[in-house]
Amino acid sequence: MEALAEWGYLGLFVGSFLASTVIPMSADLLLVGVLALGADVWWCLVIATLGNWLGGLTSYWIGWLGRWDWLERWFKVKKEQLIRQQQRVERFGAWLALFTWLPLVGDIFAIALGFYRVSPRLSAFYMLLGRFSRFLAWVLLYIAYADRFVEWISR
């Protein structure tokens, strides 16, 4: 419990941030793992959401800067991928930010929203809403099935 108090919340924040940027990892599993260690459910929801949202905003702003060498190097996003995404971005606008948490395509959506200069405020709001909803679903599942999660994690 002492290690959780010292590193759990910070680790959840950093891990959630990195999971939405350059490191392929699951913020969802990290959240459930920290919860299974006995962390406060609502603090975890806030911390995971903020970390993941700030990571997504980082992707958005890197797209805004529009440096192809950064996009290809750090996000493995090719110019052709963004051009293909342009139709979706134009069709859905900032609403697309609701889905930036999705695996594989979420980073491309965030980068494309920035690259095509879709409203920063609306994109940030919808990105926050989507990520909060995702982690809220995990928290509610954890609350409903806490015993099973703890058993599964301890295997």
pLDDT digits (tens, 9 = 90+) for 42-66: 999 999 999 999 999 999 998 899 8
What size, in residues, is the chain?
Answer: 155
Q: Which of 3-7, 48-52, 105-109, 140-144 has the highest mean pLDDT?
A: 48-52
Torsion of CA 37, 40, 44, 47, to 10 degrees: -120
- Residue 33 CA to residue 43 CA, distance in Å, equals 14
pLDDT value, residue 13? 96
Count Cβ atoms below 10 Å from residue 107 Cβ, excluding itself: 27
Structural domain boundaries, residue 130:
2-153
- How many structural domains are present in the chain? 1
For the segment 122-128, the average pLDDT, to the nearest whole number, is 98
The residue assigned the tokens 């697309």 is: 96
pLDDT value, residue 37? 86
pLDDT at residue 28 tops 70: yes
